[in-house]
Amino acid sequence: MRVLIAGAGPTGLTLAIDLARRNIDVRIVDKATEFFAGSRGDGIQPRTLEVFDDLGVIDAVLAAGMSPATVRVHLDGKFAMERRMAPRREPLPDVPYPNAWMLGQSQTEGILRDRLAEFGVHVELGTAVSGFEQDADGVTVTLSTGEVVRTSYLVGADGGRSFVRKTLGIPFVGTTDESIRMLLGDVAADLDPAYGYWFAKEADPMTGVVLSPLPGIGLFQFGAPLTEDDDSDSLETLQAKLDDVSAGVRLSRLTWSTVWRPNIRLAEHFRAGRVFLAGDAAHVHPPTGGQGLNTGVQDAYNLGWKLADGSPELLDSYETERRAVAAHVLGVSTGLMRKYAERDERAHERGAETQQLDISYRTESGKLVAGDRAPDAPVKDAAGKDVRLFDLFRGPHATTLVFGGGAPEALNTYNVLRPGEDARGVYVVDTEGHAFAAYDASGGVTVHVRPDGYVSSRVVRR
Ligand SMILES: Cc1cc2nc3c(=O)[nH]c(=O)nc-3n(C[C@H](O)[C@H](O)[C@H](O)COP(=O)(O)OP(=O)(O)OC[C@H]3O[C@@H](n4cnc5c(N)ncnc54)[C@H](O)[C@@H]3O)c2cc1C
């Protein structure tokens, strides 16, 4: 089986890694002639960190990034207070990465490309998908280089203006609001990079300039609203916006800038036959809440194992599961954007809704049912060594947890035992009781966990 991915942003790269580690023959092409160099999606949400853990890039992402910085609020040029978007949470037995993590998108993409290269797969730059036709057995794709490729599946991870989506004629339903525009850029500032900054006027404290430190590159991500007749994204414009609300902070070294317009859209379908849409090609978000990159990564992670499996039910479930999530996430980020537009004083606050940990594909109700995220828990292996359930899940396989003993010996099947219980097969011991609690397993249950870390079925044994 072969998969061709159009677009090497975070979505395409995540999918390529997930397929390559399953030994699927994957090619990833990108229209751009060089790699994107801006910070764009710089907030990585907890659920994405869990995906990065599974894909083997978590250490590099944690080493390169930083915790979200405390924001120093200045009104009329004077320091007014410190503020955090969200309280810093301690790791929990079931949630090892409870906080968002900051890293410029281009650096995240670099880490994903390095991981992909470990499987011998490299992004083919300067290579656009320029046409395709599908039949019952595959897709014939024409590339801008003139090459014609025959592939089992084509995935359009080619961004908001997706050529793949347009060629399929799939409507991209939503709005582009020209009345709100944001000036964004990566720029150096003579400020302490241990903090983020909010500069505004006391008379209008919710309209201002934000500067968020970008780890490792000595720059800040700049953001400011633009007036209707203002269309420039030059360093002078950034400086003028800042001078209007602060005194004496100098900007320099503008390496990337853009004028962002709220384009909020959801594709009517995420699939047409053997062609799939993922990431911004399927949904575009306001940057409020930092959801776009994260939702694209989750799309890819949902799709990878299903493509590898190839069964019709699983392939069908991609659109069902991910389109509902994308619609929900669009609601969250749009709601946050409205709060800013309405100058709501709580617009800066972020709660659990942006972390993507509560995303569920459940179709039934109850405590931990099929479709829910399979929680982590600390346990001990047969040698008494500390391991986590996430260690058992890591990799391209599905996992079965049999609580309370009696598991037949099968690959990736583990007995989860309480201390002192009789061991059979491959087992781990829940010395602190966290696994039994997280899986609500006191009566004994068998839980099947999908390769993407969601419960696929849960059987209660009486
Ligand atoms: C200012 C800003 C701030 C943001 N902040 C956040 C944030 O904090 N958190 C967050 O999660 N998200 C954020 N986002 C959103 C995030 O940047 C996007 O959601 C993310 O880039 C989507 O990734 P993707 O891989 O789906 O698409 P893209 O990153 O757009 O990648 C698509 C790729 O496809 C290529 N391509 C296009 N056409 C073709 C073709 N025909 N053939 C082959 N290749 C093609 C393009 O060259 C591109 O490399 C922000 C966005 C902006 C603009």
Distance, in Å, from the CA atom of 72 to the CA atom of 65, rounded to the nearest integer, reads 20
Q: Which residues of 95-121 are buried (b: 16+ CB within 10 A; e: fewer)?
A: bbbbbbbbbbbbbbbbbbbebbeebeb
CB within 8 A of 235, min separation 6: which ones? Answer: 187, 251, 252, 254
CB within 8 A of 409, min separation 6: which ones? Answer: 425, 426
> Which pLDDT belongs to residue 43?
93
Q: Provide the Cα torsion 313, 316, 320, 321; round to 10°.
A: 70
Average pLDDT over residues 193-210: 94
Query: Which structure tokens are listed for 39?
Result: 């910070």
Distance, in Å, from the CA atom of 68 to the CA atom of 103, rounded to the nearest integer, reads 9
Q: Could you tell me if 174 and 207 are in contact, meaning their C-beta atoms sit under 8 angstroms apart?
A: no
For ligand 1, mutation pick of 105, 283, 299 (most atoms within 8 Å of CB):
105
Distance, in Å, from the CA atom of 151 to the CA atom of 134, rounded to the nearest integer, reads 9
SS3 (DSSP) at 214: strand
Banded pLDDT at 378 (limits 50, 70, 90): very high
Q: How far is the CA of 43 from the centre of ligand 1 (A)?
A: 13
Q: What is the pLDDT of residues 213-239, one digit of tens each?
A: 999 999 999 999 888 777 789 999 999
Q: Is a pLDDT exceeding 90 seen at residue 366?
A: no
Q: What is the pLDDT of residues 33-68, one digit of tens each?
A: 999 999 998 999 999 999 999 999 999 999 999 999
Query: Which structure tokens are listed for 123?
Result: 């992004």
Nearest CA to ligand 1 atom 25: 9
CB within 8 A of 295, min separation 6: which ones? Answer: 279, 283, 285, 325, 326, 329, 356
**Amino acid present at 2:** R
CB within 8 A of 59, min separation 6: which ones? Answer: none
Residue 11 backbone dihedrals phi, psi, to 5 degrees? -70, -55
Ligand 1 nearest atom to the CA of residue 184, by list position: 1
Nearest CA to ligand 1 atom 9: 290
Nearest CA to ligand 1 atom 14: 41
Q: Ligand 1 site: residues with CB under 6 angstroms?
A: 6-12, 29-32, 36, 40-43, 105, 128-129, 157-159, 163, 184, 260, 279-280, 287, 290-294, 296
Ligand 1 nearest atom to the CA of residue 10, by list position: 25
For ligand 1, mutation pick of 36, 258, 280, 354 (most atoms within 8 Å of CB):
280
Query: Which structure tokens are listed for 183?
Result: 């000036």
Q: How far is the CA of 111 from the centre of ligand 1 (A)?
A: 16
Q: Which residues of 145-167 are buried (b: 16+ CB within 10 A; e: fewer)?
A: eeeebebbbbbbbbbbebbbbeb
Distance, in Å, from the CA atom of 297 to the CA atom of 396, rounded to the nearest integer, reads 16
Q: Could you tell me if 43 and 314 are in contact, meaning their C-beta atoms sit under 8 angstroms apart?
A: no
Q: Could you tell me if 280 and 296 are in contact, meaning their C-beta atoms sit under 8 angstroms apart?
A: yes
CB atoms within 10 A of CB 92: 13
Q: Could you tell me if 312 and 273 are in contact, meaning their C-beta atoms sit under 8 angstroms apart?
A: no
Nearest CA to ligand 1 atom 29: 9
Q: How far is the CA of 280 from the centre of ligand 1 (A)?
A: 6
Nearest CA to ligand 1 atom 21: 293
Q: How far is the CA of 109 from the centre of ligand 1 (A)?
A: 10
Give the pairing type, strands 2-6 and 25-29.
parallel
Nearest CA to ligand 1 atom 13: 41
399 forms beta bridges with 449
Calculate the average pLDDT of the chain: 93
Write out the H or E segment, with its range, that includes residue 242: helix 235-245
Q: How far is the CA of 30 from the centre of ligand 1 (A)?
A: 12
Q: Is a pLDDT exceeding 80 seen at residue 197?
A: yes
Q: Where are the beta strands (DSSP E) in 273-313?
A: 275-277, 283-284
Q: What is the pLDDT of residues 384-431, one digit of tens each?
A: 999 999 999 999 999 999 998 777 789 999 999 999 998 888 999 999
Distance, in Å, from the CA atom of 330 to the CA atom of 286, rounded to the nearest integer, reads 8
Ligand 1 nearest atom to the CA of residue 129, by list position: 42
Residue 257 backbone dihedrals phi, psi, to 5 degrees? -155, 155
Distance, in Å, from the CA atom of 65 to the CA atom of 108, rounded to the nearest integer, reads 9
Ligand 1 nearest atom to the CA of residue 258, by list position: 1
Q: How far is the CA of 29 from the centre of ligand 1 (A)?
A: 14
> Which pLDDT belongs to residue 347?
67
Average pLDDT over residues 17-45: 96
Q: Could you tell me if 61 and 97 are in contact, meaning their C-beta atoms sit under 8 angstroms apart?
A: no
Average pLDDT over residues 160-183: 91
> Which pLDDT belongs to residue 358?
84
Q: How far is the CA of 102 from the centre of ligand 1 (A)?
A: 17
Please classify residue 399 by burial: count the beta carbons closer than 10 Å to its beta carbon, then call 0-12 exposed, 13-18 middle and 19+ buried. buried
Q: How far is the CA of 285 from the centre of ligand 1 (A)?
A: 11
Nearest CA to ligand 1 atom 19: 292
Ligand 1 nearest atom to the CA of residue 292, by list position: 19
Q: Could you tell me if 408 and 425 are in contact, meaning their C-beta atoms sit under 8 angstroms apart?
A: yes
Q: What is the pLDDT of residues 251-291, one digit of tens each?
A: 999 999 998 888 889 999 999 999 999 999 999 987 776 78
Ligand 1 nearest atom to the CA of residue 128, by list position: 42
> Which pLDDT belongs to residue 460?
86
Average pLDDT over residues 159-168: 98
Ligand 1 nearest atom to the CA of residue 281, by list position: 26
Banded pLDDT at 340 (limits 50, 70, 90): low
Ligand 1 nearest atom to the CA of residue 7, by list position: 34
What's the number of CA atoms in the CB half-sphere (13 Å) around residue 420? 2
Q: How far is the CA of 296 from the centre of ligand 1 (A)?
A: 9
Average pLDDT over residues 99-110: 96
Nearest CA to ligand 1 atom 27: 159
**Amino acid present at 390:** F
Banded pLDDT at 180 (limits 50, 70, 90): confident
Residue with tokens 């690959």, as numbered in its chain:
411
Q: How far is the CA of 217 from the centre of ligand 1 (A)?
A: 20
SS3 (DSSP) at 332: helix
Q: How far is the CA of 390 from the centre of ligand 1 (A)?
A: 29
